Amino acid sequence: MDSIVENQKRVEEKVDGLMSRLEGKSVNMEAVEDTQKRMENKVDVLMNSLEGKSVDVNSVHNCVEDAVKVQLQDNNEKEEIRKRKTSLIIHVLEESSASVLEDRKKCR
pTM tops 0.85, yes or no: no
pLDDT at 60: 74
pLDDT in tens, 44-93: 888 787 776 666 777 778 888 988 888 888 888 888 888 888 777 777 77
pLDDT of residue 1 exceeding 70: no
pLDDT in tens, 7-50: 888 888 888 888 777 776 665 677 778 888 888 888 888 878 77
SS3 letters across the chain: CHHHHHHHHHHHHHHHHHHHHHHCCCCCHHHHHHHHHHHHHHHHHHHHHHHHCCCCHHHHHHHHHHHHHHHHHHHHHHHHHHHHHHCCCCCCCCCCCCCCHHHHHHCC
